[in-house]
Amino acid sequence: MLGPNGAGKTSFIRIMNQITAPDEGEVWFGDRKLQPSDIARIGYLPEERGLYKKMKVGEQVLYLARLKGLTTAEAKSRAKLWFERLEMNDFWDKKVEDLSKGMAQKVQFVTTVLHQPELLIFDEPFTGFDPINTNLIKKEIKRLSAEGATVIFSTHRMESVEEICDHIGLINDGQVMVEGPLLDIRKEYQNGTYAITTKNEVAQWGDAEIISKNSHHMGIAYMVKSESYPGTTVSALAQSGNLVSFEEVLPSVQDIFIEIVEHGPKTNRHA
């Protein structure tokens, strides 16, 4: 879930978590309306997250898991597994105030996933993590997704969106601007940019406009923009043996984000 500051991402997440009620509309969870009891099926890691500083890590993890409906024994055995997996075995008896920020975030991550929720909502999950822990958590999120959990990300970090998400939704001013499979949206926002590498310099590009031109060990890399598909030009290059590579350049999520926020969506809604 993407959107500029103040777009309504956190408000929407809070509605999904039943922290606040929507002004209008309904939230459906699977094939039925969201119920108060569904909180145990959702794991939520808010952007503004914290822990009880004076409480021991182990007690805190058990407390939060029990609030989600686990029994103490269940919570304990699952926590042990997660603590091992995330290399935090020695955390259990420490007080939260004695942990580093990264360590505390690992604890927060565990409390979010411990009750095996079907829906996981992460609001800027990687803030404050070093690259090693970011990768560790990314790996765990992918694993949870592969195991069947639905994961909703709310983030500004576009590179992690492209890496992790299958679907994206972009909201602005409380409205969904665009929503759908990531690849489809990138294709939709394709703006006729192509990367073409040739052995030798090309003099004629027809109606295509050269955006950039760089020489490298494979030849000359052109970035061209064309309103129509430059099939004829590319075929000619291929036939003459001058073509090294040809690729359609899809816009990055960041480009799409900026374009939509500044100019609005191409269509009101993507299928």
| Residues binding other proteins (CB under 8 A) | 1, 14, 16-20, 27-31, 36-37, 39-42, 44-46, 48-55, 63-64, 66-70, 108, 111, 115-116, 118-119, 147-152, 165-169, 176, 179
The CA distance from 165 to 253, in Å, is: 11
Q: Taking the complex as a whole, how short is the minimal distance between the CB of residue 30 and other proteins, in angstroms?
A: 5
The CA distance from 86 to 83, in Å, is: 5
Q: Taking the complex as a whole, how short is the minimal distance between the CB of residue 111 and other proteins, in angstroms?
A: 7
Q: Taking the complex as a whole, how short is the minimal distance between the CB of residue 119 and other proteins, in angstroms?
A: 6
Indicate the residue among 43 and 230 with the shorter CB distance to other proteins. Answer: 43
Indicate the residue among 57 and 196 with the shorter CB distance to other proteins. Answer: 57
Q: Taking the complex as a whole, how short is the minimal distance between the CB of residue 117 and other proteins, in angstroms?
A: 8
Indicate the residue among 9 and 251 with the shorter CB distance to other proteins. Answer: 9
Give the position of tokens 């409205």.
Answer: 175
Identity at 87, one-letter amino acid code: E
* Three-state DSSP state, 157: coil
Indicate the residue among 154 and 198 with the shorter CB distance to other proteins. Answer: 154
Q: Taking the complex as a whole, how short is the minimal distance between the CB of residue 33 and other proteins, in angstroms?
A: 11
Alpha-carbon dihedral 72, 77, 79, 83, rounded to 10 degrees: 150
**Cβ–Cβ contacts within 10 Å for residue 245, how many?**
11
The CA distance from 173 to 23, in Å, is: 14
Instruction: Tell me the pairing of strands 119-123 and 150-154.
Output: parallel
Indicate the residue among 107 and 208 with the shorter CB distance to other proteins. Answer: 107
